[in-house]
Amino acid sequence: MPELPEVEHVKRGIEPLVLNQRIEEVEFSNAVINGKEIGKDTIIKQIDLPMFKLYSEGYKITRVERRSKYILFHIETNDDQRVLVSHLGMSGGFFVVDTLDDIIVPNYKKHWHVNFKLSNGKQLIYSDIRRFGEIKNVADLSAHSSFSDMAPEPFDENAFAHFKHQLETKTYHKKPIKQVILDHKVIAGCGNIYACEALFNAKINPERSADSLNDDEQKRVFDEVVKVLRLGIENGGTSISSYRHADGKTGQMQNYLQVYKKKVCPVCGGPIQTKVIAGRNTHYCPQCQK
Ligand SMILES: [Zn+2]
């Protein structure tokens, strides 16, 4: 599943090619069209296809933004502003190409779902093999519940204060710290791989309850989440899943992982344990993480 660093990488890759371009036409795949006909919101959510076209064709892309694991396309005409809110799901990806044939990963070429034809002659294409991803077209983000209670971006100045406050609330204080840092209301965009890595680097056992962490430990966990997300961005994310970048290349972050899906601890040489915490596989070293 693409996590924050992968999504940031996708955003950086497409932004220069789509910014300030007008969407001339939007085309949908048969899977999207047929899905709508049988009442299934395949990829395009909460809006019917003619309305989606009405609220995007002729609009100019004025800003591309990543928020947590979402990519937001701010679009406008002279008298209207909308936001395309996209989530890559398990295996989605955006490509900017001259023609569909330029998508070099065969599965992504085959499983394209939305094609935005742009005024510079490029096509912004959303592909998704497993179809868990989504694109919404909303008047503003306040209508979108995921954004109203989302934590600040982890790199924002106020993100630690928010994190610390959340840890001490009734909702979270008795929950395992691993589960808590996966919650986007506490930290935005820290997925499973990065949560395992951050707790390993912070030397904190993932099963500890949030309220058992002292001030120093809270700070360590937060700082390590930020560090590992930054490292992920620098290295283009991981390519552990079927995920591929817009250019078909894979990220290199998997070469920097310490504990995720490892057998042996790189620090003490002891065995890495795997445990399911809140439904997610968690890899950790019981020797090093207390
Ligand atoms: Zn160890």
pLDDT tens figures, 31-88: 999 999 999 999 999 999 999 999 999 999 999 999 999 999 999 999 999 999 999 9
For residue 245, the model assigns a pLDDT of: 55
Phi and psi at residue 190, to the nearest 5°: -90, 105
Helices (H), the chain: 4-18, 30-37, 49-54, 106-110, 145-148, 159-167, 177-181, 192-202, 215-234
Rounded Cα distance between 119 and 134, Å, is 24
What is the Å distance from ligand 1's center to 186 Cα?
A: 27
What is the Å distance from ligand 1's center to 187 Cα?
A: 26
Average pLDDT over residues 159-171: 97
Pair 153, 188: CB distance under 8 Å: yes
Phi and psi at residue 256, to the nearest 5°: -110, 0
Q: Which of 94, 183, 75, 194 is nearest to 134 (CA)?
A: 94
∠234-101-53 over CA atoms, to 5°? 85
Q: Give 263 or 147, the one with higher predicted confidence.
A: 263
Q: Where are the domains positioned within the chain?
A: 4-148, 159-284
Number of Cβ within 10 Å of residue 83's Cβ equals 22
Catalytic residue numbers, as ranges = 2-3, 69, 280
The chain-wide mean pLDDT, for the chain, equals 93
Task: Assign domain 159-284 to a CATH class.
Answer: mainly alpha
Pair 128, 92: CB distance under 8 Å: yes
Res. 252 pLDDT band, cuts 50 70 90? confident
> What architecture is the 4-148 domain classified under in CATH?
Alpha-Beta Barrel (3.20)
What is the Å distance from ligand 1's center to 159 Cα?
A: 29
